[in-house]
Amino acid sequence: MNSAHTIGIIGGGQLARMLYEASIGLDLEIKLLAEGPEVSAARVVHEVTVGDYTDPQVVTDFAAGIDVLTFDHEHVPTSLLTKLEAAGLSVRPGPAALVHAQDKALMRARLAGELGLPAPRWRVCRDAEALRALGEEIGWPLIAKESRGGYDGHGVWKIEGAEQCEEPFAQSLEESAGEKVEIVGEEFVDFARELSVIVARNPHGECVSYPVSETVQEHGICVETTTPAPGLDPARAAQIQRLGRRIAAELGVVGLLAVELMERRDGEVVVNELAMRPHNTGHWSIDGAVTSQFENHLRAVAGLPLGDPSARQPWCTMRNVLGGSRDDLTAELATVGRDGGLKVQFYGKSIRPGRKVGHVTTYGDDLADVQGRARAAAAYLMGLAG
């Protein structure tokens, strides 16, 4: 089995920072193409190029010094990745797979249309009139989404009625990193909760699934996960893990695939969207699983055998720390550190209100205790309590 030694990562956010941490024990070399010298990962990685990931020359020069290209985000233009792959570079995940995480319209067409996998009712809408027609057909409210470029709830609108249908078209960009943006209209799923499953797949087709997580999004941002999802029927959990592996195999994903899901009140699960990189809902795995999502992403893209994704403890809760009123999180370690079972990851970012600046994780066999401790610590770090 040939494996790759030098991994190039595009994007210098916290995901790249945590990938770097995982690379050390594997002795893989990481090169980073970062947006600036002070972004989260650029503060720790020692081989950093600062440049614009939408500039073909910048990315081509960066690619010259690496064995494999992978990502911290999905915003690199698909057409640029296709050219690099055609020129012989290992792009993992490759653009033919990655496009389903970049473009929600294509993702719906492939998963719901071609593969017949469960999804909300949906349609690409050319204009406000088409969105209105969809609402009249399937009922209000609707969800409208930009097909490309969205994240953390940016580019997602809840449309309560016909009078709000202009809004997404007025606000949406026509292009994102040179690719056309469309508006996808979707049935509003009145979900009981959101779930996610993360799978890792290597270029030899080996594929493993993490336990299914329950995830909580507020204002479009993931704020909490609990793994395994409490109360989820084991047969349903196994079915969701199989769904994740099937999507990874059908799309030819190499690396991690996160499948965001919505659980309807009758227990049926529909796919929301895909990500092909480490995912916020997998952060629990750093200490909560035998092999973290970050290590498995690196193993997968390097062509190595995958690590065991099993949980180490019965329950694990991850709570995101969003920027609040405290301006120096490390100074607060003396306080949160009193809970010796609490694990902290700070991202080295400047604090801005609502910005993801870190996360905390707790583990144990008492669900209420595990969730309570994570919530209390995150609230304290956000300046909301204590």
Ligand X SMILES: Nc1ncnc2c1ncn2[C@@H]1O[C@H](COP(=O)(O)OP(=O)(O)O)[C@@H](O)[C@H]1O
Q: Rounded to the nearest whole angstrom, what is the least distance from the CB of residue 225 to Mg ion in the complex?
A: 13
Per CB under 6 A, residues contacting ligand X are 120, 143, 145, 150-153, 156, 186-189, 194, 217, 220, 260, 272-273
The answer to whether 188 is a known ligand-binding residue is yes
User: What does 169 bind: ligand X, Mg ion, none (CB cut-off 5 to 8 Å by kind)?
Assistant: none
* Residue among 140 and 188 whose Cβ is closer to ligand X: 188
Q: How far is residue 386's CA from residue 377's CA, in Å, rounded to a whole number?
A: 9
What does the DSSP assignment read for 112-152? IIIS------EEEESSHHHHHHHHHHH-S-EEEEESSS-BT
User: What does 263 bind: Mg ion, ligand X, none (CB cut-off 5 to 8 Å by kind)?
Assistant: none
Residues 268-327 that bind Mg ion (CB under 5 A): 273
Instruction: Calculate the CA 296 to chain-centre distance.
Output: 15
The answer to whether 273 is a known ligand-binding residue is yes
* Residue among 168 and 303 whose Cβ is closer to Mg ion: 168
The answer to whether 272 is a known ligand-binding residue is yes
Which residue type, as a one-letter code, is found at position 344?
V
Q: How far is residue 16's CA from residue 242's CA, in Å, rounded to a whole number?
A: 27
Contact yes or no for 223/322 (Cβ under 8 A): yes
* Residue among 35 and 260 whose Cβ is closer to Mg ion: 260
Tokens of 275: 């990500």
User: What does 141 bind: Mg ion, ligand X, none (CB cut-off 5 to 8 Å by kind)?
Assistant: none
Give the number of other Cβ atoms within 10 Å of residue 65's Cβ: 12
Q: Rounded to the nearest whole angstrom, what is the least distance from the CB of residue 267 to Mg ion in the complex?
A: 21
Q: Which candidate, 163, 129, 123, 116, places its Cα nearest to that of 144? A: 123
The answer to whether 194 is a known ligand-binding residue is yes
- Provide, for the chain, the percentages of residues in helix, strand and coil under a 3-state DSSP scheme, each rounded to the nearest 5: 35, 30, 40
* Residue among 214 and 260 whose Cβ is closer to ligand X: 260
Residues 251-270 that bind Mg ion (CB under 5 A): 260
**Please, which residues have CB within 8 angstroms of residue 368's CB and are 6 or more apart in sequence?**
none
* Residue among 150 and 364 whose Cβ is closer to ligand X: 150
Using Cβ positions, the residue closest to ligand X within the complex turns out to be 189
Q: Rounded to the nearest whole angstrom, what is the least distance from the CB of residue 212 to ligand X in the complex?
A: 15
What does the DSSP assignment read for 87-110? TT-EESS-HHHHHHHH-HHHHHII
Q: How far is residue 212's CA from residue 238's CA, in Å, rounded to a whole number?
A: 9
* Residue among 153 and 252 whose Cβ is closer to Mg ion: 153
Q: Rounded to the nearest whole angstrom, what is the least distance from the CB of residue 372 to Mg ion in the complex?
A: 26
Q: How far is residue 104's CA from residue 275's CA, in Å, rounded to a whole number?
A: 11
The answer to whether 104 is a known ligand-binding residue is yes
**Residue 16 in 3-state DSSP?**
helix
User: What does 217 bind: ligand X, Mg ion, none (CB cut-off 5 to 8 Å by kind)?
Assistant: ligand X
- Binding site, annotated residues: 104, 145, 186-189, 194, 272-273
What residues make contact with Mg ion under the rule CB under 5 A? 260, 273
- Binding site, annotated residues for ATP: 104, 145, 186-189, 194, 272-273
